[in-house]
């Protein structure tokens, strides 16, 4: 069988940040089948990429995609008020359809920004799965579980059923368990969740050590840090996405292994005054990746913006010669390894999950160093095409979904959220 598609005469930036020029990238059955200077078309579709840069797609390793429907609803508040007075009360009245349209809105924004895969953590996950499959992006979805809820056992059954039902439905979809955090899940609940995860053979995705107070309270109440608590429950025996881990302590490092990935979201940390924590200092000893968190705190879902902020904060408070472009690029690419879709490398056999950039624009010209152009100057307008599994999901600067319809529905649902107002929440941050 011949190739399905050739990206002709492209410049390539690989996962290590190494640039090669004027290559033809052959894609067959969704995978990269050949990278060559020779252009030998048979019957394939050819896309001229002269002067463009082809890179692996971006990964957003921690978000709450449906929270796009709450973007801007909780501004200029403390982190306590953000949770207790705004987000959790609104969420308590959220419907499945709010979730669905919030997720669709989020996915369109991510595709526009060159994201080819994201890790999500939310309720009503069935409808998020629908949104993923309808748009062609890839996602790893963790249905959220609060271990301290009265109906925890019932929720655990429901989530287990969903993971079993949808986990193998498509190569675009993976599911794992989403215990919210050690402070909202008792040790007992964490153990129950991890038993299930091990039985089914999936990982978990959990918020850890987000604030300094959270860590201090854990030590005061239980005598252990959140990381130690998770370790004691078996949390490091499975593939693990740590959301934030901002206030990890030196002593927690011994629990981490090669299958522990951190998704960090500096924009949220700055906005909610969460402090520097330890992740900048420990950057070379942790598998750091980028996440955006939900749009209710980060307002945008572009992982590139987060890595840019990570580098700038690092340079501001440590050293201008550290947080180098190549390291930031690798941080951006590392999320692919965490998700295991066999994407993230420009190599034969890897999935063609790609972003194709035009850096010959006002904001990025001249291009002395393509990584600098991308990391410090680019925006979504530089992404000409986004592709998953060899199929375009953004083509010629346009995301291939009915954006007008999604915007209309998002508007209607945002109006409904305001009309319904806040409900009561039993969980306290
Ligand atoms: Zn989060």
254-273: pLDDT as tens digits: 999 999 999 999 999 999 99
Q: Are 146 and 180 in contact (CB under 8 A)?
A: yes
- Ligand 1 center–CA 232 separation, angstroms: 22
- Ligand 1 center–CA 104 separation, angstroms: 18
- Ligand 1 center–CA 218 separation, angstroms: 19
Residues of the chain with CATH 3.20.20.140: 58-338
Q: Is the pLDDT assigned to residue 108 strictly greater than 50? A: yes
- Ligand 1 center–CA 380 separation, angstroms: 23
Q: Report the DSSP beta bridge partners of residue 45.
A: 5
Residue 180: name the closest of 213, 143, 211, 154 by CA: 143
- Ligand 1 center–CA 217 separation, angstroms: 19
- Ligand 1 center–CA 423 separation, angstroms: 21
Q: Which of 83-87, 134-138, 296-300, 393-397 has the lowest mean pLDDT?
A: 83-87
Write down the CATH number for the domain with range 5-56+343-399.
2.30.40.10
- Ligand 1 center–CA 90 separation, angstroms: 16
Q: Is the pLDDT assigned to residue 221 strictly greater than 90? A: yes
* pLDDT interval class at 1 (50, 70, 90): very low
Kindly state which CATH superfamily the domain 58-338 is placed in: Metal-dependent hydrolases (3.20.20.140)
Q: Is the pLDDT assigned to residue 3 strictly greater than 60? A: no
* pLDDT interval class at 325 (50, 70, 90): very high
- Ligand 1 center–CA 266 separation, angstroms: 12
HSE-CB at 407 with a 13 A cutoff on CA atoms is 5
DSSP state of 330: H
- Ligand 1 center–CA 398 separation, angstroms: 29
- Quick one: pLDDT at residue 427? 74
- Quick one: pLDDT at residue 356? 98
**For the segment 326-351, what is each residue's pLDDT rounded down to a tens digit?**
999 999 999 999 999 999 999 999 99
Q: Are 6 and 44 in contact (CB under 8 A)?
A: yes
- Ligand 1 center–CA 275 separation, angstroms: 16
State both tokens at 377.
């100057």
- Ligand 1 center–CA 178 separation, angstroms: 11
- Ligand 1 center–CA 227 separation, angstroms: 16
Using a CB cutoff of 8 Å and minimum separation of 24, what contacts does 146-150 make?
Answer: 146/180, 146/184, 146/185, 146/427, 147/179, 147/180, 147/184, 147/185, 147/186, 147/188, 147/189, 147/190, 147/192, 147/193, 148/184, 148/185, 148/186, 148/189, 148/427, 149/426, 149/427
- Ligand 1 center–CA 30 separation, angstroms: 31
Rounded average pLDDT over 60-80: 95
Q: Could you tell me the maximum CA-CA distance found in the chain, to the nearest angstrom?
A: 68
- Ligand 1 center–CA 12 separation, angstroms: 33
Q: Is the pLDDT assigned to residue 201 strictly greater than 80? A: yes
Residues of the chain with CATH 2.30.40.10: 5-56+343-399
- Ligand 1 center–CA 1 separation, angstroms: 44
């Amino acid at each position: 069988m011949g190739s399905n598609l050739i990206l002709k005469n492209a410049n390539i930036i690989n996962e290590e940040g190494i640039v090669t020029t004027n290559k033809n990238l052959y894609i067959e059955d969704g995978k990269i089948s050949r990278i060559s200077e020779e252009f030998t078309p048979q019957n394939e579709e050819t896309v001229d990429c002269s002067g463009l840069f082809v890179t692996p797609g971006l990964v957003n390793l921690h978000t709450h995609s449906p929270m796009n429907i709450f973007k801007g609803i909780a501004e200029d508040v403390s982190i306590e008020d953000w949770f207790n007075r705004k987000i959790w009360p609104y969420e308590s009245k959220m419907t499945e359809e709010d979730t669905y349209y919030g997720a669709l809105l989020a996915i369109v924004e991510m595709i526009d920004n060159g994201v080819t895969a994201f890790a999500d953590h939310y309720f009503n996950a069935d409808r998020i799965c629908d949104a993923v499959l309808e748009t062609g992006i890839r996602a790893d979805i963790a249905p959220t579980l609060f271990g301290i809820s009265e109906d925890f056992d019932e929720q655990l059954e429901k989530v287990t059923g969903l993971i079993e039902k949808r986990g193998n439905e498509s190569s675009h979809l993976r599911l794992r368990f989403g215990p919210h955090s050690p402070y909202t899940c008792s040790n007992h609940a964490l153990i129950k969740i991890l038993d299930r995860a091990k039985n089914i053979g999936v990982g978990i995705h959990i918020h850890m050590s987000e604030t300094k107070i959270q860590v201090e309270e854990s030590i005061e109440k239980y005598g252990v840090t959140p990381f130690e608590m998770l370790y004691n429950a078996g949390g490091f025996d499975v593939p693990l996405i740590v959301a934030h881990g901002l206030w990890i302590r030196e002593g927690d490092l011994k629990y981490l292994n090669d299958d522990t990935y951190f998704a960090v979201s500096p924009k949220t940390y700055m906005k909610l005054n969460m402090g520097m924590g330890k992740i900048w200092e420990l950057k070379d000893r942790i598998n750091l990746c980028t996440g955006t968190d939900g749009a209710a705190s980060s307002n945008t879902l572009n992982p590139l913006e987060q890595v840019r902020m990570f580098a700038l904060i690092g340079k501001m408070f440590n050293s201008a010669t550290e947080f180098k472009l190549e390291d930031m690029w690798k941080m951006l690419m590392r999320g692919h390894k965490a998700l295991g879709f066999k994407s993230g490398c420009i190599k034969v056999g890897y999935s063609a999950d790609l972003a194709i950039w035009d850096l010959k624009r006002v904001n990025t010209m001249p291009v002395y160093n393509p990584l600098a152009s991308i990391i410090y100057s680019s925006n979504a307008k530089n992404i000409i095409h986004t592709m998953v599994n060899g199929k375009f999901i953004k083509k010629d600067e346009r995301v291939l979904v009915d954006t007008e319809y999604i915007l209309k529905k998002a508007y209607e649902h945002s109006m409904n959220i305001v009309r319904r107002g806040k409900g009561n929440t039993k969980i306290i941050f």
